[in-house]
């Protein structure tokens, strides 16, 4: 890629999702990405040939703008829209500039849905995690794939917020019409400072991949 995401160096289980996607979904299938940010994971999906529907509520992530990076460095960040144009991938990506929790249902089901560390954002805490998860599940066709990586609780305050969850708790949302394919977790690890977090900090992350039962 000629362009770089602000999130490029953060830990992700995306390779595990991509491997499951390649096994289960044809290369021109449609993947919805919830919380697309500036496209760190959208661009590789589009480059691999998938059609992507990218939901993002933050105008800065989509349109770019001035940002303060760790070390008090002022910079101009490129947004998802310009990154897609520069990489000539814009034809494969539909952007939905909306809060996912308020977005209209799509006109067709997707082959897969993916989110990377989005639902723990405080803007989502006024609605139950079950709603976020159910909205994602409802987007997936029979036989399709659900993938989510998410923050697990580390600080005391996280234990009071259900959006910091665990693979076990999350798997309870997957009833008989789903099979959980894979769940993973990290130990606590130190992540380097990044946009919005000016100091190095501790995270713990989980992954859950599930397939919707074929008809």
Ligand X SMILES: C[S@@+](CC[C@H](N)C(=O)[O-])C[C@H]1O[C@@H](n2cnc3c(N)ncnc32)[C@H](O)[C@@H]1O
Tokens found for residue 60: 């800065």
Q: Using CA atoms, how far apart are residues 98 and 58, in angstroms rounded to an integer?
A: 8
Q: How far is the CB of 214 from ligand X (least distance, A)?
A: 29
Give the shortest CB-90-to-ligand X separation in angstroms.
18
Going by DSSP bridges, is the β-strand pair 110-116/140-151 parallel, antiparallel, or unpaired? Answer: parallel
- Tell me how far apart the alpha carbons of residues 155 and 74 are, in angstroms, rounded to a whole number: 29
Least distance in Å: CB of 12 to ligand X?
Answer: 6
Task: With CA atoms as reference, report the closest residue to 92 among 35, 34, 30.
Answer: 30
Nearest to 143 by CA among 173, 180, 178, 114: 178
Q: How far is CA 132 from CA 10, 19, 45, 49, 77, in A?
A: 23, 24, 22, 27, 28
CA 196 – CA 178 distance, rounded (Å): 35
Residues of span 108-127 touching ligand X by CB under 6 A? 116-118, 121, 123-124
When asked if residue 189 is in the footprint of ligand X (CB under 6 A), the reply is no
Q: Does 57 contact ligand X by CB under 6 A?
A: yes
Nearest-approach distance from CB 207 to ligand X, in angstroms: 12
Binding mask 132-171 for ligand X (x = CB under 6 A): ----------------------------------------
Q: Which is nearer to ligand X, 44 or 143 (CB)?
A: 44
Q: Judged by CB under 6 A, does residue 100 bind ligand X?
A: yes
Q: Which stretch binds ligand X (CB under 6 A): 79-87, 97-105, 181-189, 201-209?
A: 97-105
Min separation Cβ 99 and ligand X, Å: 5
> What is the contact surface with ligand X in residues (CB under 6 A)?
7, 10, 12, 35, 37, 40-41, 55-58, 61, 99-101, 116-118, 121, 123-124
């Amino acid at each position: 890629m000629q362009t770089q995401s602000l999130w490029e160096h953060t830990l992700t289980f995306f390779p595990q999702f991509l491997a499951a996607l390649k096994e289960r979904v044809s290369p021109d299938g449609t993947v919805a990405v919830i919380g697309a940010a500036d496209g760190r994971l959208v661009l590789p999906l589009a480059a691999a040939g998938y059609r992507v529907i990218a939901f993002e509520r933050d105008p800065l992530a989509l349109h770019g703008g001035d940002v303060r990076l760790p070390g008090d460095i002022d910079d101009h960040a490129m947004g998802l829209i310009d990154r897609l144009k520069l990489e000539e991938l814009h034809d494969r990506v539909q952007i939905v500039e909306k809060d996912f929790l308020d977005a209209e249902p799509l006109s067709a089901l997707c082959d897969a849905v993916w989110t990377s560390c989005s639902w723990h954002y405080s803007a989502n805490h006024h609605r139950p995690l079950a709603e976020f998860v159910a909205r994602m599940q409802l987007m997936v066709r029979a036989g399709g794939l659900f993938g989510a990586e998410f923050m697990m609780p580390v600080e005391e305050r996280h234990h009071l917020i259900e959006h910091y969850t665990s693979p076990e708790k999350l798997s309870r949302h997957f009833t008989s019409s789903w099979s959980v394919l894979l769940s993973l977790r990290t130990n606590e690890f130190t992540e380097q400072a990044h946009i919005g977090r000016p100091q190095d900090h501790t995270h713990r992350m989980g992954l859950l991949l599930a397939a919707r039962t074929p008809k």
